[in-house]
Amino acid sequence: MTHDDHGDDHRTPTAEPVLVSLSAPARRSLVAGLVRPTGGTPDPVERVDVDIPDPDLAAYLAGIAHADHGFVAVTTSGPRALAVVAATVAALCGEDIPNALTTPDLTFLKSLKPAAIEATRNVLLAIETPAEQQVREALQVLDA
């Protein structure tokens, strides 16, 4: 006679499924991996010379913040790269884009939550430049 033949009501509990998130972790840095050599982003991608006049760039950023695709900024200037990061965040937050271009709020940028960083990086895909070291150094203030 086996154990089951005794009419034992003790049953082995069935295992419950364990839910595991397979999504990518949120970025912890606004600028890590952002700077690339000129042409270093695979096509197709919209590249924008961000050394254009501030009013033109502000108008562009106001529109791209609500588009279904991002863009790659192209510049040779470290300070301009920092300004573009700040202005992209301002465009997404509905803040003053021209002011962000001239006076980036470093405290605010360093306090962004992972979701805001992810949203920014979905719009500003990369900064392409022939002056990679200079641009990286200018953006380092955001990781300090």
pLDDT tens for the chain, 144 residues long, are 555 555 555 555 566 666 555 555 555 799 999 999 999 999 999 999 999 999 999 999 999 999 999 999 999 999 999 999 999 999 999 999 999 999 999 999 999 999 999 999 999 999 999 999 999 999 999 987
Write down the pLDDT at residue 26.
52
Within 32-142, residue ranges assigned H as helices are 54-64, 78-93, 97-102, 106-110, 114-123, 132-139
Per the CB < 8 A criterion, the answer to whether 47 and 84 are in contact is no
Give CA separation, 119 vs 70, 83, 93, in Å. 10, 17, 10
The CA distance from 68 to 65, in Å, is 9
Phi, psi of 118 (to 5 degrees): -60, -45
Which residues are 46's β-sheet partners? 71
Q: What is the pTM of this model?
A: 0.81
